[in-house]
Amino acid sequence: MAVIAALSMNAEMYNEMTYTKRGTTFTLVAQKAQAVQLNIYTEGTGGKAIKTVAMKKGPKGTWKAVVKGDLKGRFYTFNVKQGGKMLGENPGMFAKAVGVNGKRGAVIDLAATNPAGWENDKALGYAPTDIIVYESHNRDISVSRKEARYPGKFMALTEPWAIDHLKSLGITAIHLLPSFDYASVDEEHLDRPQFNWGYDPLNYNVPEGSYATDPFKPEVRVSEFKQMVKALHDAGIAVILDVVYNHTMDINNSNFQRTNPDVFYRKRADGTYSDGSGCGNETASDHPLMRQYMIESFNYWAKEYHLDGFRVDLMGIHDIETMNLIRKSLPEDIFIYGEGWSAGTCAYPAEKLAMKVNTYQMPGIAAFCDDMRDALRGPFNDDHQGAFLAGLAGHQESIKAGIVGCIEHPQVDYSKVNYSKKPWAAEPTQSMAYISCHDDMCLVDRLKTSIPGIGIDELIRLDLLGQTAVFTSQGVPFMLSGEEMLRDKKGVHNSFKSPDSINQLPWDNLQKYPQVFAYYKGLIALRKAHPAFRMGKAELVRKHLEFLPVGEGLMAFRLKDHAAGDQWNDIIVVLNANKHACMVDVPEGTYTSVVAAGKVDLDGIRTTTTSRLEVAAQSALIVHN
């Protein structure tokens, strides 16, 4: 253990292929192997090996082979012999380039994949208080856009229409659903209709081939991913990758299993494989080899692709210690957040897992706040059940928790919060504020399902009201792509493999409902212009954020005394989910409204001297003095 721990921060264990013109060095960690065979191919799929080499065993279960000559453009597989059996060809556990469908590793010169100006590109270094996340899928966002030259591809996000839209909206970070090489889309047949979110990992350290213009040429996906990152960085947009280390597509054929059988997966006491992911297996972050693997993989993406952050799928399957080691191994300004839950029971003590309730033990790592999400839209386990937005009582305390960023606050009674019975974040930026994401129904579908007979005007009012809670939260705001154009998924709850017709963004809606985009854009601009909405420190939030007493269907808070150095003295935010206008008592003052009745104007809508604010039905009011 001591040796592995020392390795954790420094040496690379998993550098499986190093190319030079004179020769390529292959290494593989296969701790219990009896022999390891290296096969060299001319193609990424099919044909026979042109060369087979017996790798030599070195220290710590690391096998090595040096193949002389210029191997650039060749492909390779490893085949491990253990227990007298050959475990099957695979590209290794840490391939950095692969052929089509990720079956074979590829020898490429990584430096040659760098786009022009890459040497000057780097992560944007945003503080957590500056992050506003837009969760996007490489296919959803571009496949239906008429002027897209590269629909469904990484390169779409280099195109002016995409960059202009994101910049105009004002978000500061794009979160890409799984964009590493996953299994479920057949890269050899992209002419057939196929769609998947990509939560079925194959090769963790290679971009997905179906998002490349040519999945057969290994260098293309690497280069195009970098071009995408650079174009977004040039526009001031940080790039966050959704990473799924908690399970692999399957066990038997996985690269882990074919290299180090049973080492990378957790088992139950009875010897069966644990399934905390709900996908048939669960990886073992607590094992030194998997822990080291995750640390190296995060760092590889950060260094090679200049990524700005990571969204950790089912983070609650990983152990706290591993998440903290990953955090420490990365630059401080790389943003990390994850799902603080699992999909099933894990074969590991719950108190040691990176669950939401333990977030305060992981400084610099955030978790999704389902408390406020479900208090606004309704519970995750019943699409037909509404909550605050549907005008139902009993959700205020959970919304308050989300507004303060799930920290301890004298006015939040956690015994009344729907899932968390105590504060779980030490700092507000450890809480992700959101109302919808790719999982579950999008906001439009959820409002339609939970409020039968809802018309378009009411739907828009409630949509804007709900997002106001998100964008004025002291947590880090997060939105699903397309909410700004009132996307729907025709009521589909889980669209992970639904066709484009369900998942694509409705770009025409930008013209149809311009007030929705304008409101989102306005809220984002308001947040960016005013540090009071993103104080960053728990002590500042406790000092400057005060909830005002209100009745049911209402939420009101004051950001007082130039919070976090804000130019505005007091800011008052009121959310009214009632179907009628309401009055809210406030300290007497001269207030200028900047958000009212579905409109945002930072220069001020109207100014009045009063001690009572009137808030229109199903809308938010934000005033300042």
Q: Which residues contact 305 (CB under 8 A, 6 or more apart)?
A: 225, 226, 229, 239, 241
What is the smallest separation between the CB atom of 298 and Ca ion, expressed in angstroms? 20
Active-site position among 208, 339, 427, 463: 339
Residue 271 is given by DSSP the state: S
Count of residues that bind Ca ion according to CB under 5 A: 2
Is 539 catalytic? The answer is no
What is the smallest separation between the CB atom of 177 and Ca ion, expressed in angstroms? 13
**Among the residue ranges 84-92, 151-159, 180-188, 236-244, the one whose residues contact Ca ion (CB under 5 A):** 180-188
**DSSP readout, 50-88?**
SEEEEPEE-GGGEEEEEEES--TT-EEEEEEEETTEE--
Structure tokens at 279: 């996908």
What is the smallest separation between the CB atom of 365 and Ca ion, expressed in angstroms? 28
Beta bridge partners of residue 247, listed in sequence order? none
- Closer residue to Ca ion (CB): 104 or 446: 104
Residues 326, 479, 543: CA angle, nearest 5 degrees: 75
List the interface residues with Ca ion, window 485-514 (CB under 5 A): none
What is the smallest separation between the CB atom of 182 and Ca ion, expressed in angstroms? 5
- Closer residue to Ca ion (CB): 44 or 531: 44
Told to check if 308 binds Ca ion by CB under 5 A, we report no
- Closer residue to Ca ion (CB): 209 or 386: 209
Is 339 catalytic? The answer is yes
Told to check if 181 binds Ca ion by CB under 5 A, we report yes
What is the smallest separation between the CB atom of 201 and Ca ion, expressed in angstroms? 10
Told to check if 374 binds Ca ion by CB under 5 A, we report no
Quote the radius of gyration of the chain (alpha carbons, Å): 25
92 sits in the region (left: phi over 0; alpha: psi -120 to 50; else beta) called left
Residue nearest to Ca ion (CB): 181
Indicate the SS3 state at residue 524. helix
**Among the residue ranges 53-61, 179-187, 337-345, 535-543, the one whose residues contact Ca ion (CB under 5 A):** 179-187
Compute the distance between CA of residue 521 and CA of residue 311 in angstroms, rounded to an integer. Answer: 24
- Closer residue to Ca ion (CB): 181 or 224: 181
Structure tokens at 550: 């209100």
- Closer residue to Ca ion (CB): 249 or 573: 249
- Closer residue to Ca ion (CB): 209 or 428: 209
**Among the residue ranges 173-181, 255-263, 338-346, 377-385, the one whose residues contact Ca ion (CB under 5 A):** 173-181
Beta bridge partners of residue 238, listed in sequence order? 173
Indicate the SS3 state at residue 184. coil
- Closer residue to Ca ion (CB): 181 or 296: 181
List the interface residues with Ca ion, window 209-248 (CB under 5 A): 209
Beta bridge partners of residue 51, listed in sequence order? 40
What is the smallest separation between the CB atom of 42 and Ca ion, expressed in angstroms? 21
Compute the distance between CA of residue 82 and CA of residue 351 in angstroms, rounded to an integer. Answer: 35
Structure tokens at 558: 């004051």
What is the smallest separation between the CB atom of 127 and Ca ion, expressed in angstroms? 34
Within 10 A of 367 (CB to CB), how many other CB atoms are there? 28
**Among the residue ranges 27-35, 175-183, 391-399, 546-554, the one whose residues contact Ca ion (CB under 5 A):** 175-183
- Closer residue to Ca ion (CB): 214 or 333: 214
Beta bridge partners of residue 90, listed in sequence order? 78
List the interface residues with Ca ion, window 196-215 (CB under 5 A): 209
Active-site position among 159, 224, 308, 313: 313
What is the smallest separation between the CB atom of 332 and Ca ion, expressed in angstroms? 32
Compute the distance between CA of residue 165 and CA of residue 108 in angstroms, rounded to an integer. Answer: 35
What is the smallest separation between the CB atom of 204 and Ca ion, expressed in angstroms? 12
What is the smallest separation between the CB atom of 184 and Ca ion, expressed in angstroms? 8
Q: Please, how many CA atoms are within 13 Å of residue 62, restricted to the half-sphere of its CB? A: 14
- Closer residue to Ca ion (CB): 95 or 613: 95
Compute the distance between CA of residue 63 and CA of residue 103 in angstroms, rounded to an integer. Answer: 20
- The candidate with the shortest Cα–Cα distance to 439, out of 490, 485, 501, 495, is 495
Compute the distance between CA of residue 430 and CA of residue 410 in angstroms, rounded to an integer. Answer: 19
Q: Please, how many CA atoms are within 13 Å of residue 200, restricted to the half-sphere of its CB? A: 18
Contact yes or no for 437/506 (Cβ under 8 A): no
DSSP H helices, 314-406, are 320-329, 370-377, 396-404
Q: Which residues contact 382 (CB under 8 A, 6 or more apart)?
A: none
Residue keyed to tokens 């990424």: 44
Q: Are strands 309-312 and 335-338 parallel, antiparallel or unpaired?
A: parallel
- Closer residue to Ca ion (CB): 144 or 210: 210
Alpha-carbon separation of residue 316 from 250, 339, 363 (angstroms): 20, 7, 15
Beta bridge partners of residue 56, listed in sequence order? 64
Catalytic residue positions? 313, 339
Site residues (vs Ca ion, CB under 5 A): 181, 209
